Amino acid sequence: MKLLVRYLKPFRVRMAIGFCIKAGGTMVELMLPYILSYILKNVVGSRSVPQILAWGGLMILCAATACICNIVANRMAARSSADFSEQLRKDLFAKTLRLSAAQTDRFTIPSLESRITTDTYHVHSFVSMMQRMGVRAPILLLGGIVITLVMDAYLALVMLAALPLICVTVFLISNRGVPLYARVQQSVDNMVRVVREDFQGIRVIKALSKNDYENRRYDAVNRRLSRDETFAGTIMGIANPAMTLLMNCGITAVVAWSAYRVAGHQSDPETVIAFMQYFTLISMAMMSISRIFVMYTKCAASSRRIGEVLEQPEEIFTPEKQTVCEPRREDAHIVFENVGFSYTGKHRHLKNINVSVPRGGSLGIIGATGSGKSTLVKLLMRFYDVTEGEIRINGLPLSSYGHQTLSGMFGVALQNDFLYADTVEENIRFGRELSHDAIVNAARIAQADDFITAFADGYGHLVSSKGTNLSGGQRQRLLIARAIAGMPEILVLDDSSSALDYKTDANLRRALAEELTNTTVVTVAQRVSSIKDCSVILVLEHGRVIGQGTHDELMRDCPAYREISDSQMGGAFVE
């Protein structure tokens, strides 16, 4: 819960004022049964109408004061908890964007989604409840006990006999709640994962008529979540009935003992009436405390999950201004030297990769699915750190660059990258300070300008979420335009032209060579035509380089490359 304390600290003054207002209203409310007892004992017997009206007016004034104080305090609590949860969600979202790829893999995207949504909601609910009930309930409980002890200590002690049993019950039940709700949140993660997968693949599901199969898959995780919620709810649900039973037993004992004392003239009916009202307030306070403990268990489990993300260390990037080493004197812009990598630490996914690319040159990477092509690009952009060897840019190892510096070198277009619901121009601009002319130029190089200007509203054309109102080739060209728009030092195209026809692909490659003369281009492709003009081509198989050189050299010396080329185009290319 240290996480909550840290995030609530900026709101401590506002919350303290709200607590004071709440406490004042609650203490005024505590006086109502006592005033009623006084009226019944001393005022009604006098039969003085002015006194009755005066004391009745005092009760109304106290009730109104308590009501206003509670409303004001609750509004302040709502605002404080909303601002608190807004800041928490903001920092949590920002942290998820800063997580390394390995950290994201460990948490999984569905789990991160549920932590930002469901877990922050549980924490928000607890903070809001604590400000509303966390002050009121203890004051009603303790204040009621003190006043009843003053009014009739014997009756109060009978009532208090049930409180230790109630406290033990609440403690034992709430102690089990944290692991139970942690399991519930894990089930939520699994359900979010299935929903996310189904929504992303909805077209494939419909095309293959797999609705029933996906319904069964969802039903499985939904039933698991339902079972976990039912079990947790059943255990935590014992608290209220148990407390009600104990409190009713206490009330029964108080009524029986108060009747005995009234009959023996040791107490009076007016005191018993006030005493029963206080007992009702104390019972309500205990029920509120029970609800707080139930909510606390959810909050504690969720807070722990949120803290796991926020407390993740920066695994990869060094501070921006830190100088790690002097640059090596080498002509190559990008160097892979004896690079090896493993995702799990067991199986080596890349082995002994050595390649140099000159500034303004181009690197083509080709190979079968699972050969390590995309992994090589992820290492270059430092999504992961190499397990063996070293990658250098401008003579410096990647570890010497800060995050902003390194990411600022790259323009990236991935095959399944995302487009968001906004105009074509904003999707290309992507939040950067780019002029309209720069965006148009990037679209022209990416072979996207023709279809964009064909829209009635041109660059103001609205793109739907994920670009569903565009064809596959149009989406890819917009993504390439986005990558080009910032005129990066290194342009990475990871299978980003697979939906383009051969002619458009050839025009794109020609435009890149003519317009981005100082940019080093790294192209991952399945088609030989997309990488045949590269300065250096790597042919990968099971994480190893089985061929390296120009297209002509590989056609002569690498049977695997020659087989791919012949199978695709029979050795001929469309230019």
Question: Distance between CA 7 and CA 123 in Å, rounded?
Answer: 11
How confident is residue 253, by pLDDT bands cut at 50, 70 and 90? confident
Give me the count of residues in the chain.
575
Q: Residue 574 has what pLDDT?
A: 44
68-88 pLDDT tens trace: 998 999 899 889 989 999 999
Question: Distance between CA 540 and CA 534 in Å, rounded?
Answer: 15
366-389 pLDDT tens trace: 988 888 888 999 899 888 889 999
High-pLDDT (> 70) share of the chain, %: 94
Q: Residue 575 has what pLDDT?
A: 45
The domains of the chain, with CATH numbers, are: 2-310 (1.20.1560.10), 329-409+491-512+520-575 (3.40.50.300), 412-487 (3.40.50.300)
Query: Which residue matches tokens 């299978």?
Result: 495
168-213 pLDDT tens trace: 776 777 667 667 777 887 888 888 888 877 766 776 777 777 778 8
Total Cβ atoms within 10 A of residue 325: 10
381-422 pLDDT tens trace: 888 889 999 999 998 898 888 888 888 899 998 877 788 888
Question: Distance between CA 62 and CA 32 in Å, rounded?
Answer: 7
Measure CA of the first residue to CA of the last residue in the chain; give whole Å: 64
Largest Cα span, the chain? 119
Q: Residue 322 has what pLDDT?
A: 53
Beta pairing class for 520-524 and 490-494: parallel
533-569 pLDDT tens trace: 899 999 998 889 999 999 999 999 899 888 888 887 6
Any residues with CB less than 8 A from the CB of 288 and at least 6 apart, and which? 133, 136, 137, 140
For residues 279 and 184, the answer to whether their CB atoms sit within 8 Å is no
For residues 107 and 192, the answer to whether their CB atoms sit within 8 Å is no
Question: Distance between CA 463 and CA 184 in Å, rounded?
Answer: 37
Mean pLDDT value of segment 16-20: 91
* Helix ranges, 238-329 (H): 239-263, 269-310
- Mean pLDDT rounded to a whole number for the chain: 84
Measured between alpha carbons, how far is residue 504 from residues 236, 444, 567 in Å? 63, 12, 21
